[in-house]
């Protein structure tokens, strides 16, 4: 059976004290849940708090930390930037790549996303590659083309062996932070499409075990329905991950 994951993207929220408290509340609640059905639980705090949150979680394979972003170069004169190696040294195991906010607000280009994916894979970390169409692309029925284009450019020249640690998150841009959610049927058909697209680059066995997460206004009231779709392997949660009770209830929805 495919593994599941529930990841919380805290974005630019929570100071040090609040980050540690939230991580601790989540760790304590997760420790009371039955281990056999527990999804991987991943928290993505802001950069300065990766290490303290990782320590608070007593991070392990089931409860781990992600960075929200990284720079494409290994090191150098890039004031203000953070490399994959720096992220790795904090104990983080995942890096979110190509989030739509990075693409839209910070002009992150596909070529950079491709470099970052390679850098993260080379470091032995897991990239969580975000893809998803904009509202006008959905309205014009171009959503599959848009997502295929994002996947193909992000994964260009990656060998099947390179891709072993990849995770994909389908995040329709029109659903992020808007309260609008893709219907279970819309999510399921796009997740199948993503799996098929990855299959063409790898093989059946890899595509079948690839985790494809859903993100975009996922919350305690809609998580169970979304996660019940056979190809939805959990979620990348923004707003609802900032509250321990809501986030834990989403984790529980992934255990059904
Ligand atoms: P949201 O954000 O759950 O607040 O819509 C999801 C995301 O941006 O990853």
What is the secondary structure of 151-171 as a DSSP string? HHHHTTT--TTGGGG-EEEE-
Q: What spacing in Å lies between the alpha carbon of 169 and ligand 1's midpoint?
A: 11
Domain map (residue ranges) of the chain: 5-254
Give yes or no: 99 in active site.
yes
Q: What spacing in Å lies between the alpha carbon of 243 and ligand 1's midpoint?
A: 13
Exposure string of 152-170, with b = 16+ CB inside 10 Å and e = fewer, is eebbeebeeebbeebbbbb
Residue 217 CA, closest ligand 1 atom number: 5
Q: Indicate the top mutation candidate among 69, 214, 215, 221 to test ligand 1's pocket, ranked by most ligand atoms within 8 A of CB.
A: 215
Share of the chain above pLDDT 90, in %: 93
Residue 130 to residue 91: CA distance in whole angstroms:
22
| Sign, CA torsion 66/234/225/202 | positive
Q: What spacing in Å lies between the alpha carbon of 176 and ligand 1's midpoint?
A: 5
Which residue's C-alpha comes closest to atom 3 of ligand 1?
Answer: 238
Catalytic residue (choose from 71, 99, 143, 191) = 99
Output the pLDDT for position 227. 98
Residues within a 6 A CB radius of ligand 1: 9, 171, 176-177, 215-218, 236-240
Bridge partners, 131 (sequence order): 170
| Sign, CA torsion 150/3/89/51 | positive
Output the pLDDT for position 60. 78
Q: Indicate the top mutation candidate among 95, 128, 217, 241 to test ligand 1's pocket, ranked by most ligand atoms within 8 A of CB.
A: 217
Q: How far is CA 118 from the centre of its chain?
A: 16
pLDDT averaged over every residue in the chain: 96
Residue 175 CA, closest ligand 1 atom number: 5
Which residue's C-alpha comes closest to atom 7 of ligand 1?
Answer: 238
Q: Which residues contact 122 (CB under 8 A, 6 or more apart)?
A: 84
Per-residue pLDDT of the chain (256 residues; tens, 9 = 90+): 899 999 999 999 999 999 999 999 999 999 999 988 999 999 999 999 999 999 999 877 789 999 999 999 999 999 999 999 999 999 999 999 999 999 999 999 999 999 999 999 999 999 999 999 999 999 999 999 999 999 999 999 999 988 999 999 999 999 998 988 999 999 999 999 999 999 999 999 999 999 999 999 999 999 999 999 999 999 999 999 999 999 999 999 999 9
Protein fold of 5-254: TIM Barrel (3.20.20)
Give the DSSP H/E element, type plus range, for residue 216.
Answer: none
Catalytic residue (choose from 108, 133, 137, 171) = 171
Q: What spacing in Å lies between the alpha carbon of 124 and ligand 1's midpoint?
A: 26
Which residue's C-alpha comes closest to atom 6 of ligand 1?
Answer: 238
Which residue's C-alpha comes closest to atom 1 of ligand 1?
Answer: 238
Most distant CA pair in the chain: distance in Å? 48
Give the DSSP H/E element, type plus range, for residue 40.
Answer: strand 40-44
Residue 147 to residue 41: CA distance in whole angstroms:
25
Residue 101 CA, closest ligand 1 atom number: 8
Residue 219 CA, closest ligand 1 atom number: 3
Q: Which residues contact 220 (CB under 8 A, 6 or more apart)?
A: 240, 246, 249, 250, 253
Output the pLDDT for position 1. 80
What is the pTM for the complete model shown? 0.97
Give the DSSP H/E element, type plus range, for residue 253.
Answer: helix 244-253
**Per-residue DSSP letter, 176:** T
């Amino acid at each position: 059976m495919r593994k599941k994951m529930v990841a919380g993207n805290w974005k630019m929220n929570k100071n040090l004290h609040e980050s540690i408290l939230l991580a601790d509340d989540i760790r304590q609640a997760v420790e009371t849940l039955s281990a056999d059905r527990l999804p991987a639980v991943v928290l993505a705090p802001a950069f300065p708090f990766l290490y303290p949150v990782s320590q608070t979680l007593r991070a392990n394979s089931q409860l781990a930390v992600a960075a929200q972003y990284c720079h494409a170069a290994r090191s150098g004169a890039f004031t203000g930037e953070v490399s994959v190696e720096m992220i790795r040294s904090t104990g983080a195991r995942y890096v979110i790549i190509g989030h739509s906010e990075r693409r839209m607000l910070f002009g992150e280009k596909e070529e950079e996303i491709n470099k970052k994916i390679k850098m993260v894979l080379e470091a032995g970390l897991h990239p969580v590659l975000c893809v998803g169409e904009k509202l006008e692309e959905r309205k014009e029925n171009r959503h599959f083309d848009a997502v295929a284009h994002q996947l193909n450019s992000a994964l260009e020249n990656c060998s099947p062996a390179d891709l072993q640690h990849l995770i994909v998150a389908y995040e329709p841009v029109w659903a992020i932070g808007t309260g609008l959610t893709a219907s279970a049927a819309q999510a399921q058909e796009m997740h199948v499409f993503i799996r098929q697209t990855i299959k063409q680059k790898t093989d059946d066995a890899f595509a079948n075990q690839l985790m494809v997460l859903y993100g975009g206004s996922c919350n305690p009231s809609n998580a169970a329905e979304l996660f019940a779709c056979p190809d939805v392997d959990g979620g990348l949660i923004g707003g609802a991950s900032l509250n321990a009770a809501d986030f834990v209830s989403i984790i529980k929805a992934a255990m059904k």
